[in-house]
Amino acid sequence: MAIIVSFGLQKGGVGKTTTTGITAFFLAKANRVLAVDLDGQGNLTRMLSGQNKNAFKSTIYEAIKHRNTENCITVLSENLHLLPANDDISRISSLLDQHTDRRLQVLADVLDSARSSYDYILLDLPPALSEQTLIGLTASDYTVTMLQTEPFAYYALEDYLETCQVVQKKYNPNLKLAGILSVLLNSRASLDQSILEKVRADYEDIVFESVIKRKSRIKELAITGVVDKTKADQQALKEYSDFVEELVKRVQKN
């Protein structure tokens, strides 16, 4: 039975999609993984498939519309599958309005049909507080809070944690915080270091030990897809590999 983990923060450009895609890549080395794109930009879809989002007609919207993932999942490899997104996700509100009794539980119900086929289901949440964010959190067992070490992302951290608390109280009592992951750190910038230190002081062991530093090679993976064939790739991905090991320990422990 799959463990469902979402990646979120109510701010764009903080590495949610990149982290979701790379986490899926590493987990799929030894597990069956379904990556779910909940952002209409379709960046996770492009990163993992190498195709434009408009190439996909069977998407997360279609899965919610038919209340089943059948015929909507794209097989990328034996262990890595994708539930893609494109612009049609903007029409998701009309679908939710048809299910007023379990409006925000719709995605959880849909993923139940696929849960037994995977070890992990990873959800890439959109950068705004939208209905996709709420249905994603309502479907999640765990959420990873992304934190880019810059002021606006730091301010967004508390808002996201409050959103998680509301969802946990009203819709998903089983939702747990897997941890706060610091990403895009500029190790030579004093402001980045001070924000990381403050977050560690405020949230203590909730913060992952792993820290993802800013690397140009990681940006390129969004275009080329995730690979670790060369030594340079392996070095660039080492911090993500460490994070995935830490994440697995945290979610398996509970």
Point out which residues pair with 146 in neighbouring strands: 181
The pLDDT tens digits of the residues spanning 4-61 come to: 999 998 877 778 999 999 999 999 999 999 999 999 888 999 999 988 877 888 899 9
pLDDT grade, residue 186 (50/70/90)? low
CA atoms within 13 A on the CB side of 181: 30
Give me the residue spans of the domains in the chain. 3-253
* pTM above threshold 0.75: yes
Mean pLDDT of 169-173: 95
Tokens representing residue 34 in the block: 């379904």
User: Are the beta carbons of 40 and 87 closer than 8 angstroms?
Assistant: yes
31 Cβ contact partners less than 8 Å away, ≥ 6 residues apart: 79, 118, 119, 120
Would you report the helix, strand and coil content of the chain in percent, each value rounded to 5?
50, 20, 30
The predicted structure's pLDDT at residue 120: 98
Q: Does the structural domain 3-253 have CATH classification 3.40.640.10? A: no
Inter-CA distances, 64 with 16, 29, 41, 139, Å: 22, 28, 18, 13
pLDDT grade, residue 198 (50/70/90)? confident
Mean pLDDT of 91-120: 85
Rounded to the nearest integer, the mean pLDDT of the chain is: 88
